A and B are shown apart, each in its own frame.
Chain A
């Protein structure tokens, strides 16, 4: 069974930093592209960042230059380093796994999410 477990969400002041983790199990992590998707309170889904199996990474314009996605295949863990946080970064952050059989970046497995609150 595929499991994705996010952690690291917290209350942080504007300008601060936070690192999110997503520990995975139930599939060969190193073979799959992974993404972070966020959802601000009462709002829609926003794709944030993706990292491919090759290590290539991509970012939404809203976080480019502030957030860094990475992966540790030996630990089966995905990360999101978030710097220079803004109030508008407040959201539940989900990690999501690329579809099991189709090599394309839509998601058939999601974690339960971790809440990041940016406030003074």
Chain B
């Protein structure tokens, strides 16, 4: 099975900072990658799919890029409401594995 990794596992940044999270697949998955945000105590929310397509209603400060095995989620200007865990997920084929997550908080 394809394994998903994320880095870093956590980060702390200032409001307004540019934040980048990396997701890596152990084998190529084309652009079949989604990103989710999960705020504390809340249900996961879809941010991006097809590696770079922004889900409707998601702020434009969120963006995604990559294909094959290496992907990034970027928050162009970190806001207090972005404090959350972020997960990537492959959906190329079953199993539809999630990455281990990256926790983002405010410095």
Residues on A lying within 8 angstroms of B by beta carbon are 35, 37, 44-47, 50, 58-61, 94, 99, 102, 104-108, 110-113
Q: How far is the CB of A2 from the nearest CB of chain B, in Å?
A: 12
Residue tally, chain B, CB below 8 Å to A: 23
Cβ-closest chain B residue relative to A108: B46
* Chain A neighbourhood of B94, CB < 8 A: 50, 58, 105
**B44, CB-defined interface residue at 8 Å:** yes
Which 4 interchain pairs have the tightest Cβ spacing? A58-B94, A106-B34, A44-B101, A45-B98
**CA distance in complex: A26, B32 (Å):** 27
Is the CB–CB distance between A107 and B46 below 8 Å? yes
Q: Name the contact of B43 in the complex, choosing from A44, A58, A59, A113 (C-beta under 8 A).
A: A113
Is the CB–CB distance between A45 and B38 below 8 Å? yes
A99 and B49 in contact, given A44-B85, A45-B44, A106-B34 (Cβ under 8 angstroms): yes
Is the CB–CB distance between A47 and B43 below 8 Å? no
| Chain B facing A: main interface SS | loop
Q: In chain B between 37 and 95, which residues have their CB closer than 8 angstroms to a CB of chain A? A: 38, 43-44, 46, 49-50, 55, 85, 87, 89, 91, 94-95
Is the CB–CB distance between A47 and B89 below 8 Å? yes
Cβ-closest chain B residue relative to A52: B94
Cβ-closest chain A residue relative to B33: A106
* Chain A neighbourhood of B99, CB < 8 A: 44
**CA distance in complex: A41, B1 (Å):** 25
Q: Name the contact of A45 in the complex, choosing from B36, B49, B95 (C-beta under 8 A).
A: B36
Is the CB–CB distance between B100 and A44 below 8 Å? yes
**CA distance in complex: A23, B25 (Å):** 33
Can you pick out 17 interface pairs between chain A and chain B where the beta carbons lie within 8 Å of each other?
A44-B100, A44-B101, A45-B38, A45-B44, A45-B89, A47-B95, A47-B96, A47-B98, A58-B94, A60-B95, A94-B44, A105-B91, A105-B96, A106-B34, A106-B89, A107-B34, A110-B44
